[in-house]
Amino acid sequence: MKRGNVLVLKVYIVVTTLALSFASFADNPLTIKETVPAVYQVKQGDTLWGISSLYLHSPWRWPELWNQNKHIGDPNLIYPGDKLMLTWVNGQPRLVRKATKKLSPTIQVTTKAPIAAINALTQARYTQREGLVLESELAKFPKVIGSSDGLNYVTAEDDVYIDYRGEETEWAIYRASQRFAAPQPEYSMQQVRMVAKARSQSQADGVTTLVIERFIHEIKQGDVAIPLSAIQTPEQINHFQPHAGPAIDNLSIAGMMDAVNYVVRGQAVVLNRGYVSRVEQGGSYALVKPAHGFQFSEGEFGLVEGNKEETSLAMPTIEVGQLVVIRSYPFFSIAVIIEASEPITQQMLVASPSKRAKS
């Protein structure tokens, strides 16, 4: 598929996904929690998910509550200090930005950053410092081949050498780890984690000397140097709304970003589907513990109408958490655990919340 076609497909999928999400709730009106503030002033550190949780049992239905307030500029952005007022439109609850009185004509300059969909520090970690890179692209970038201290231990005062000759001057150095195989090999990806930022100092004989400007973790031979010009900027990926993700067949956890056996709230997982399958940034999904079956003893059967001929019964599944997709690639996605009543394992199921929503 050509790059242009992929981009067109992605835009179409975003619109279709949101439309399907709203359609799935058409017969399930929003209901507000019993005790909610009539007016809420947004504070530094608030998130869209947190504010939605104040009013709704199902925070992923935020787009319906906010309804994008299209009569104002940047309708999706909410800032610290904004006052949000609960109102009703055609019998349905709506959260709107409360108008402020202006004593005289002035030019308003906004220097505050809008609040994020989820915890800003968590979001920054998985959008600015860690992520997935196409395996084929990763192979094209220069590698760390040595340092002025022999790479035994690199400090901010040491020089780092990469196998590069060119015009790039600003770099981020990454450690590659887990590999995620895609159905189409050209879309297989590797997890990367930033270990340093650096700038070019000099070049000689196909080797560029880098000066470390920000030291995060130890640097090793074989680490990958990616020019900052090739890295997606935070503004392109930071602002999104949580919403109900569509039902996706066989959606599951492909791995943990921290390469551990389980994760908890605030940590991230890799899902085995991406925007080609309509898994989009902001999509919320329920984490469900698989049901354990019950097997009757030999010769025994069910005792109630409907299962008298059954030799086994399936126990109910249990919802144990929620996740929100924060980055979507063609065949994979990164999602952060927003709620968890117990440690999340790779064996847990990932389901659309529309199948389990209360309101």
The model's pLDDT over 138-158, given as tens digits with 9 standing for 90+, comes to 999 999 999 988 877 777 788
Q: Which domains does the chain have, with CATH numbers?
A: 1-92+113-117+239-304+311-359 (no CATH), 128-234 (2.40.10)
pLDDT for the residue 231: 84
**β-strand partners of 210:** 160, 200
pLDDT for the residue 239: 79
What is the C-alpha end-to-end distance of the chain, expressed in Å? 39
* Residue whose C-alpha is closest to residue 112's, from 85, 84, 83, 78: 78
* Residue whose C-alpha is closest to residue 284's, from 17, 70, 26: 17
More confident residue, 340 or 101: 340
pLDDT at 17 over 50: no
d(CA 132, CA 327): 9
Q: Which of 168-182, 247-261, 313-327 has the lowest mean pLDDT?
A: 313-327
pLDDT for the residue 77: 85
Long-range contacts of 26-29 (CB under 8 A, 24+ apart): 28/357, 28/359, 29/91, 29/92, 29/359
pLDDT at 326 over 80: yes
More confident residue, 330 or 157: 330
Instruction: Tell me the pLDDT of the chain averaged across its residues.
Output: 83
pLDDT for the residue 70: 57
pLDDT for the residue 112: 72
pLDDT for the residue 9: 34
pLDDT at 64 over 70: yes
Instruction: With H, G, I as helix, E, B as strand and everything else as coil, classify residue 86.
Output: strand
Amino acid at 47: T
Helices (H) and strands (E) in the chain, counts: 5, 21
pLDDT for the residue 21: 47
pLDDT at 181 over 60: yes
pLDDT tens-digit readout, 287-320? 999 876 666 555 554 455 455 455 556 667 789 9
pLDDT at 116 over 60: yes
CA R_g for the chain: 24
pLDDT for the residue 20: 45
d(CA 98, CA 47): 18
d(CA 121, CA 1): 35
Please, which residues have CB within 8 angstroms of residue 298's CB and are 6 or more apart in sequence?
none
d(CA 29, CA 132): 38
243-244 and 283-289: which strand pairing? parallel
- What mean pLDDT do residues 200-226 have? 94
pLDDT at 3 over 60: no
d(CA 137, CA 114): 33
pLDDT for the residue 138: 95
pLDDT tens-digit readout, 215-235? 999 899 999 999 999 886 655
pTM above 0.85, yes or no: no
Of the ranges 40-49, 231-240, 258-267, which is most confident?
A: 40-49
